[in-house]
Structure 1
Amino acid sequence: MIRCVRIWTEAGNSVFEEGSIALPHGERGDVLSHVLGARSISFRETRSGGAFAPHHAPTRQLVITLAGTLEFKTIAGATFVIRPGDLLLAEDTTGSGHSWRLIDDQPWRRAYVIVDADVAALFQPSTAS
């Protein structure tokens, strides 16, 4: 399972849910996702101690965290943590947005995968128990 947090805009504010990337296929002992069509990929690094004030995502994107642990916060005060290996599906391209801050001593290294609105992002919400 690959952990993924989806964040989107609802009634003008960013909200989120935890889930995973669907891995429905198997081959040689691995589990595989479907192919995701992406428009572009870029990489970025923020030094340890970094933070970013409330903002919305500039476009629909998957953010793959390679290093660093972050706390994300919505305007309503709800928080979640992203760790290395986690994905963030950022779909809150309007509204009040979210903020983040690094909470460990590592830089945040990440890849931004831009995904068009009509592309299935492979996100699967966690099932309620």
Structure 2
Amino acid sequence: MIKAYKLTTGADGHSHVETGHLTDGVFYNAAAISFKETAAHGFLDWHPAPRNQYVICLTGTLLFTMNSGEEFTLSPGEVLIAMDTTGSGHKWKMLGNDPWRRAYVPFNDEENINFVSEAKA
């Protein structure tokens, strides 16, 4: 199973994380994929996701933090499902000396994402 983290905006206006995994399947109706690299030791301060998207971590390890104090570490081979497009958002900083290489796969709001929460498993 591929470990995944889903970020959503709660009723309190802040981002929250749910840990789980992706089910076997495809990225339904994926119309685009893009790639980005950030040099080691990078960071990005508070921001909401620019759109609903899968962020597939290829290299690099990052610490994500939410306004609520929730944190998680994203590692290579794991997927972030960013759906916190409103509110206070999240921030991240890179750990270690590797660059962060990732692929972005955007999806529509009504898309059926293939995520199973640990809380529901």
Partner of 1:59: 51
Partner of 1:94: 86
Conservation of the 8 A alpha-carbon contact between 1:62 and 1:88: yes
Partner of 1:30: none
**Residue 97 (structure 2) pairs with residue 124 (structure 1):** no
Partner of 1:13: 14
> 1:50-97: per-residue Cα shift (whole Å, max 9, x none)?
000000000000000000000000012210000000000000000000
Consecutive unaligned residues of structure 2, counting only runs of 5 or more, are none
1:8 is displaced (CA, Å) by 0.5
Partner of 2:2: 2
Larger Rg belongs to: 1
Consecutive unaligned residues of structure 1, counting only runs of 5 or more, are 24-32
What count of residue pairs does the alignment treat as equivalent?
A: 120
Q: Which moved more, 1:118-127 or 1:44-53?
A: 118-127
Conservation of the 8 A alpha-carbon contact between 1:39 and 1:116: no
Q: Which runs of 4+ in 1 moved over 4 A?
A: none
Structure 1 Cα separation of the partners of residues 27 and 83 of structure 2: 19
TM superposition score normalised by structure 1: 0.88
TM superposition score normalised by structure 2: 0.94
Aligned residue type for 1:50: G
Q: Percent identity?
A: 40
> 1:83-124: per-residue Cα shift (whole Å, max 9, x none)?
000000000000000000001110000000001112111011
